[in-house]
Amino acid sequence: MKIVGITACIAGIAHTYMAAANLKKFAKKENCEIKIETQGAMGIENELTQAEIDEADVVIFAVDTTVQNEDRFNEKKILEVGTSKVVKDGKATIQDAIKLAKGE
Amino acid sequence: MNDKIGEFISEKNIVLNLGALNQSDAIQKLATVLKKNGYIDDVLAFQNDVLEREKASTTGIGNELAIPHGKSTHVIQTTMMFARNEEGIEWNSLDGSKVKNIFLMAVSPEDKGNEHLKMLATLSGELMDDDFVEAIKKADSKENILKILQKRGNER
C-alpha cells in the first residue's frame, strides 16, 4: 500500500509537523509506504512529485486550511481530516485511508 | 539547515515547578521569563496572542502535554520554553488529560524558513514519539531535560 499526504495547520508551526510524524509512525506499523509533504510556516517541504501522487493508492489531507496545488490530486481517492484528529489518533487515520484505498 | 534543538535553548528556557493555577496563568508566567530573557517585548500582549491561538483549537495534545504557541509581533526572537507544573492544569486536551508538561513556542512573524522554525518543527515531530515523551515526563532536573532535547536534536 502506497500512501501520500499533505499536512497543513493554521499557524504552520507545530500541528503540521506533529501530524506528519504521526502519519509516518502509524503507516510504518501497518507496513505502508508513505510520503508526506508539509505545507507549514517554512513553506512546502518534502514536496510530492506527480509520479509519486499517481502511484499512490490513497491520499491523506491532514489539513485545517486549504491545500496548495490541490489540482495535482485530481481523480485520486482522498481522505480529508483535521490535524488534531491525526495527532490524537494517527492509527485510525491510517486505517481509514487503507479502507478507502480498498474501497471498503 | 541546522535543526539541533540544543543549540537554541539553555537551562534558562526550562522552568520546573512553574506553580501555575490555570492555563492563562501558566502562559503569563512563561511569558514573564521570555521577557526577562529578551525574547519578547510585552508579556500581556504575547500572552493574549497565545490565548487567541488556543481559542481556535486546543494545543493540549494529550498525554499530559501541551504546546501553546504564538506567532506574535511581540516576539523579538523565535524560541521555545519548557515548563513542568506539578498540579495538572485543565487544558481542554484531546484526550481529556490535565497538563503537567508545557512546551511554549514563541514565533516571530518575520521568521520564514529559518533554523529556529526548523527547530520547532523537529521538536513537534518528536512529540509523537512515545519514548521521547516518556523520557521528558520522567526527567526531574533542568540538566536532564536539556540533555534529552539535545540528544534528540543531534540524532536528526
**In this model, does residue B68 exceed pLDDT 60?**
yes
CB contact under 8 A, B127 and A15: no
pLDDT given for residue B113 in this prediction:
66
pLDDT given for residue B2 in this prediction:
40
Interface confidence (ipTM) of the complex: 0.90
Considering the domain A2-102 in this protein, what is its CATH number? 3.40.50.2300
Name which of A14, A16, A20 is nearest B67 (Cβ-Cβ): A14
Q: Which of A6, A8, A9, A97 is flagged as catalytic?
A: A9
**In this model, does residue B27 exceed pLDDT 50?**
yes
Instruction: Region of B58 please: left (phi>0), alpha (psi -120 to 50) or beta.
Output: beta
pLDDT band (50, 70, 90) for residue B1: very low
What is Dmax (Cα atoms) for chain B? 39
To the nearest whole Å, the CA of B49 is away from the closest chain A CA by 12
**Residues A35, B31: Cα–Cα separation, whole Å:** 37
pLDDT given for residue B4 in this prediction:
65
pLDDT by residue (tens digit) across B100-138? 999 999 999 888 767 888 889 999 999 999 999 999 999
All three cell numbers of B139, joined, read: 526527567
**In this model, does residue B149 exceed pLDDT 50?**
yes
To the nearest whole Å, the CA of A61 is away from the closest chain B CA by 17
pLDDT given for residue A104 in this prediction:
81
Percentage of residues in chain B having pLDDT higher than 90: 78
Domain boundaries, given as residue ranges, for chain A = 2-102
pLDDT given for residue B114 in this prediction:
78
pLDDT by residue (tens digit) across A68-98? 999 999 999 999 999 999 999 999 999 999 9
pLDDT given for residue B44 in this prediction:
97
Q: Is some CB atom of chain B closer than 8 A to the CB atom of A44?
A: no
Q: Which domains does chain B have, with CATH numbers?
A: 10-155 (3.40.930.10)
To the nearest whole Å, the CA of A104 is away from the closest chain B CA by 28
Name the residue among B33, B100, B87, B35 with its Cα closest to residue B61: B100
CB–CB of A77/A59 below 8 Å?
yes
Name which of A11, A17, A87 is nearest B53 (Cβ-Cβ): A11
Q: What is the DSSP code string of B15-71? A: ESS---SSHHHHHHHHHHHHHHTTSBS-HHHHHHHHHHHHHHS--EEETTEE--EEE
